[in-house]
């Protein structure tokens, strides 16, 4: 099915690229190295079960939850583009 100037499958390629970017960003944010005994933020002892479940963990659950709230996903590309931007 023709989609104007876009080649067939272009929408799926955009979706795939967006997913690949998100997976790459998530992998980059994963902790590496040895887990800390105490939280890097509040110095509370990190439970052994958490250290074993998340290798390289640096924060306790409470501090990690706060950090996750502050983190926003930002993409450098407008993959969809609006019709207005295409007409200019």
- Token pair 């963990």 in the structure block, residue: 57
Alpha-carbon gap, residue 31 to 54, rounded angstroms: 8
- Whether pLDDT at 2 is above 90: no
Give pLDDT tens digits for 28-75.
Answer: 878 788 899 999 999 999 999 999 988 899 999 999 999 888 876 554
pTM passes above 0.75: no
Which value, in Å, is the radius of gyration of the alpha carbons in the chain?
A: 20
Alpha-carbon gap, residue 1 to 68, rounded angstroms: 41
- 47 DSSP β-pair partners: none
Going along 1-88, which residue ranges are E strands? Answer: none
Q: In the numeric block, which tokens belong to residue 65?
A: 């939850």
Give pLDDT tens digits for 65-76.
Answer: 998 888 765 545
């Amino acid at each position: 099915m023709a989609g104007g100037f876009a080649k067939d499958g272009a929408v799926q390629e955009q979706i795939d690229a967006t997913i690949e970017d998100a997976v790459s960003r998530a992998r980059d944010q994963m902790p590496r190295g040895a887990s800390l005994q105490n939280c890097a933020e509040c110095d509370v002892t990190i439970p052994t079960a958490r250290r074993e479940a998340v290798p390289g963990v640096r924060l306790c659950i409470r501090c990690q939850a706060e950090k996750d709230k502050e983190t926003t996903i930002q993409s450098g590309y407008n993959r969809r583009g609006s019709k207005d931007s295409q007409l200019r």
